[in-house]
Chain A
Amino acid sequence: MNAWGQAATQRRRMAPALMLFACVLIGLPVPAQTALTVAAFPSVDKIVEAAIPAWKKLHPDVDVKVVSRQFADHHTAMTTALSTSFYLPDVMALEVGYVGRFAQGGGLEDLSREPYAIRRYESQYVPYAFQQATSRTGTVVAAPTDIGPGTLLYRTDILARANVTEADLTRTWDSYVDAGIRIKAATGAYLLPHAREMKDILIRTGIKPGEGLYFDKDSRVIVNSPRFVRAFELARKVRQNKLDARVSAWSTEWSEGFKRGTLATQMSGAWLAGHLSNWVAPATKGAWRAAQLPEGAWAAFGGTFFAIARGAPAANKALAWEFIRFMTLDRERQLAAFKSQDAFPALRAAHDDPFVELPIEFLGGQRARLLWREAASHASAVDVHKQDAFASEVIDTELDKVLDHGKDIATALADAERLLAKRARR
């Protein structure tokens, strides 16, 4: 046998062993039956799971498999799946921040086009939520399922001790801070967890058409403006009067603050009342009330959407869209999620249910869902820019310098503007 023949025999001998090795290495995927994969995070995963029996009645032959990950892991996994087009689920749940971010790229199906034509249903969704899923070019990359209309939660007992009324809190932002000074003096309680929150809400109010948060529609930086100056000034006033507890949301100190009654108010989405009542501070039941945000500000805190990846298995896309409509346009499903998980419906038809008018025990029997419904109808979407994440980091840094080192506000905003201008068009 010559050398060539020998090599060939060796190759033949090698082949089975190599193939076995390759299979073990790759972990060959099992071909899918008619099953929809829905990737979600808590508590959207629970909402989807609870909807499966009703879905099976309509589609007995289509299984729904929920892949659940923690919030951050889920969105990292979706980013990776989109960039590589591997292991894409048929339907992905996305938090509003990621909807805006993913809408910058072309990884998600444009639902405004056939065969989806989501604009047919546009009027059925809460307008700002639909707007959040719409990009500047008019594509719609996701369908809203729940929303977070913003209100101000406050402690009636602390206000009463300081002789402060709800009207004092909500008349203007200045009166809100002044009320905070009185609360601090009379009770020692902080007005809010962090001065940054004061800045965050104020830069989101009074945004003119064509403007985003930090950049306008032509990518011009707009942080050196009265909107930011006022936000920084009020945040500084909060810090100078020691009205903030200097704790970040979801930290241990933050939840301790609610438990011990050292935090008098908190701006947040409708969902916070549920969290407070379920696990953060159940013992404070009855002490809290909700009010519309000061100075007629309307804001949204969070919200969940369903999207279909462009690279997802084509055969399942029709069913995936069917499933999204089932979750977002079916009044029963939306109400079920509302009642079980405090997921405020993005479907307007669900807002007329008597459930909305029921008193909420945790809020001392207040019919707060009516407030949230009103807030939902007023809130508006803010245009998203590619560099928003970086911009928010820069602005937070400059605010820290103003708060901690007494940096001049005009200089701080000019510095931020210079840094952002370099990125605006990247």
Chain B
Amino acid sequence: MKLPRALQLSPVWTPYVLLSPFVVLFCIFGLFPLAFSLYLAFQTWEPTSGLTAMSFVGLDNFVFSLQDEWFWKSLKNTAWLAVASGVPQHLVAIPLAVFIHNSFVRSRNAVVGAYFLPYITSTVAIAILFSSLFSTDFGLVNAGLRALFGGEPIDWLGRPENIKPAIAMIVFWRYVGFNVVLYLAALQTIPKDLYEAATMDGAGRLQQFFFITLPSLKPMIYFGVTLSVIGGLQLFEEPFILTGGRGGSDQSGMTTAIYLYRMAFDFNDFGAASAMSWLLFFVVVVLTWLTNRAFKPRGGSA
């Protein structure tokens, strides 16, 4: 059946029409919020008065944010969590990937799948599961610790000094599998003859690891670390759910992302919240650039 002429698409327009769902959705859910938050960062706004109630305040929101103790506190929390959950991810993922690469042949995919599973599980489900694991009186974590070491049960999510380690453990557990998959993919591209030559020259397994595997993995390390830096700085869901959306006792689980969310939706200050989100963006850019400087292969020698 042929469509009526009026409904036929000319080949000139076809690509645009077929692209339009993405472009439209991106503009609505990607570009517009970005532009709007940049605009809001320079306004003061009582949201329930409607959109007309904004008034321009220049850099006030940025000045306020930079002087705000809680903003700095949240940045420190974020940095702590990013390091404590990010560094072990890679320190564990690289040897683990090498181990899986060398030791599993037929069951490799199943093993990798097991490590990857947390990554594709809903964060909400994970956080709820872990809040019951970390429960002071009935949680498995405390039960295990008591069986091993005895002593008093630890109030994981109630006391400020315990919240961060608890969150870092979850984030580590969640993303280590993702990194293993990255490194496994990179390991498969390292030519086997390099190892054969090294073996001929009498290099041990440890030497092969440090002088062949690790340098060959560098581009992937750069990629993985960049993702960890960006993800770590934007950490939101896990601490948000574990601390009931409040950031925990003494705000010790309050990452910058949680704080700026609360600034807007709990404390009604959309202007400062937008300013903080752009400051956070700036931090992400700087740290990504530093990561680039540290890891990126230079002079096309990759």
**Residues of A near any B CB (own CB < 8 A):** 10, 12-14, 16-17, 21, 25, 76, 79, 82-85, 101-102, 104-108, 246, 310-311, 386-387, 389-390, 393, 397, 400-401, 404, 419, 422, 426
**Shortest distance between the CB of B167 and any CB in chain A (Å):** 18
Say which one of B7-15, B75-83, B203-211, B220-228 lies at the interface with A.
Answer: B7-15
Q: A404 and B249: CB pair below 8 A? A: yes
24 of the cross-chain contacts (CB-CB < 8 Å) are A13-B9, A13-B13, A14-B13, A16-B6, A21-B20, A25-B24, A82-B50, A83-B49, A85-B50, A85-B51, A104-B46, A105-B53, A106-B50, A107-B49, A390-B266, A393-B246, A393-B266, A393-B267, A397-B251, A404-B160, A419-B69, A422-B64, A426-B44, A426-B272
Q: B49 and A106: CB pair below 8 A? A: yes
Residues of B within 8 Å of A83, CB to CB, are 47-51
B68 contacts chain A at the CB level, 8 A cutoff: yes
Q: B48 and A82: CB pair below 8 A? A: yes
Residues of A within 8 Å of B70, CB to CB, are 419
Residues of B within 8 Å of A310, CB to CB, are 50
Q: Say whether, besides A85-B50, A105-B48, A107-B48, A10 and B267 are in contact (CB < 8 Å).
A: no
Q: B68 and A422: CB pair below 8 A? A: yes
B5 contacts chain A at the CB level, 8 A cutoff: yes
| B residues 222-245 touching A (CB-CB < 8 Å) | none
Q: A10 and B49: CB pair below 8 A? A: no
Residues of B within 8 Å of A419, CB to CB, are 69-70
Q: How far is the CA of A402 from the CA of B4 in the complex (A)?
A: 77
**Shortest distance between the CB of B134 and any CB in chain A (Å):** 14
**Residues of B near any A CB (own CB < 8 A):** 5-10, 12-13, 17, 20, 24, 44, 46-51, 53, 64, 67-70, 158-160, 246, 249-251, 265-269, 272
Q: Say whether, besides A17-B17, A79-B47, A79-B48, A106 and B250 are in contact (CB < 8 Å).
A: no
Residues of A within 8 Å of B8, CB to CB, are 13
Q: A17 and B9: CB pair below 8 A? A: yes
Residues of A within 8 Å of B20, CB to CB, are 21
Q: How far is the CA of A387 from the CA of B272 in the complex (A)?
A: 13
Q: B24 and A10: CB pair below 8 A? A: no
Q: How far is the CA of A397 from the CA of B254 in the complex (A)?
A: 12
Q: A246 and B24: CB pair below 8 A? A: no
Q: How far is the CA of A12 from the CA of B160 in the complex (A)?
A: 65
* CB-nearest residue of chain A to B269: A426
Among all A-B residue pairs, the 7 with the closest Cβ atoms: A105-B49, A83-B47, A105-B48, A107-B48, A105-B46, A82-B48, A106-B49
Residues of A within 8 Å of B13, CB to CB, are 10, 13-14
**Shortest distance between the CB of A385 and any CB in chain B (Å):** 11
Q: How far is the CA of A387 from the CA of B267 in the complex (A)?
A: 7
Q: A82 and B7: CB pair below 8 A? A: no
Partner pick for B159 among A101, A107, A404, CB 8 A cutoff = A404
Q: How far is the CA of A83 from the CA of B46 in the complex (A)?
A: 8
Q: B50 and A16: CB pair below 8 A? A: no
* CB-nearest residue of chain A to B247: A393
Q: B265 and A76: CB pair below 8 A? A: yes
* CB-nearest residue of chain A to B249: A400
Partner pick for B67 among A107, A387, A401, A422, CB 8 A cutoff = A422
Residues of B within 8 Å of A105, CB to CB, are 46-49, 53
Q: A10 and B7: CB pair below 8 A? A: no
Q: A101 and B268: CB pair below 8 A? A: yes
**Shortest distance between the CB of A109 and any CB in chain B (Å):** 13
* CB-nearest residue of chain B to A76: B265
Q: A389 and B6: CB pair below 8 A? A: no
Q: How far is the CA of A102 from the CA of B250 in the complex (A)?
A: 28
**Shortest distance between the CB of A70 and any CB in chain B (Å):** 14
**Shortest distance between the CB of A264 and any CB in chain B (Å):** 20
Residues of A within 8 Å of B46, CB to CB, are 104-106
Q: B10 and A389: CB pair below 8 A? A: no
Residues of A within 8 Å of B44, CB to CB, are 426
Residues of A within 8 Å of B49, CB to CB, are 82-83, 105-107
Q: Say whether, besides A246-B158, A389-B266, A419-B69, A106 and B7 are in contact (CB < 8 Å).
A: no
Residues of A within 8 Å of B249, CB to CB, are 397, 400, 404
Residues of B within 8 Å of A422, CB to CB, are 64, 67-68
Q: A13 and B6: CB pair below 8 A? A: yes
Residues of B within 8 Å of A76, CB to CB, are 265
* CB-nearest residue of chain B to A403: B249
Partner pick for B250 among A16, A79, A401, CB 8 A cutoff = A401
Q: Say whether, besides A10-B12, A397-B251, A422-B67, A82 and B47 are in contact (CB < 8 Å).
A: yes
Q: How far is the CA of A362 from the CA of B213 in the complex (A)?
A: 73
* CB-nearest residue of chain B to A106: B49
Given A83-B48, A311-B50, A389-B266, 9 more contacts at CB 8 Å?
A: A12-B6, A13-B9, A16-B6, A16-B7, A17-B9, A25-B24, A104-B46, A105-B46, A404-B159
Residues of B within 8 Å of A390, CB to CB, are 266-267
Residues of A within 8 Å of B7, CB to CB, are 16-17
Residues of B within 8 Å of A426, CB to CB, are 44, 64, 269, 272
Most chain A CB inside 10 Å of its own CB: which residue of B6, B7, B50, B68: B50
Q: How far is the CA of A107 from the CA of B24 in the complex (A)?
A: 31
Q: How far is the CA of A422 from the CA of B72 in the complex (A)?
A: 15
Q: A106 and B265: CB pair below 8 A? A: no
Q: A386 and B12: CB pair below 8 A? A: no
**Shortest distance between the CB of A258 and any CB in chain B (Å):** 17
Q: Say whether, besides A10-B10, A14-B13, A17-B9, A389 and B268 are in contact (CB < 8 Å).
A: yes
**Shortest distance between the CB of B65 and any CB in chain A (Å):** 11
Residues of A within 8 Å of B267, CB to CB, are 387, 389-390, 393
* CB-nearest residue of chain A to B10: A10
Residues of B within 8 Å of A25, CB to CB, are 24
* CB-nearest residue of chain A to B245: A72
Most chain A CB inside 10 Å of its own CB: which residue of B9, B251, B268: B268
**Shortest distance between the CB of A307 and any CB in chain B (Å):** 11
**Shortest distance between the CB of A272 and any CB in chain B (Å):** 21
Q: A386 and B10: CB pair below 8 A? A: no
**Shortest distance between the CB of B178 and any CB in chain A (Å):** 32
Residues of A within 8 Å of B24, CB to CB, are 25
**Shortest distance between the CB of B193 and any CB in chain A (Å):** 56
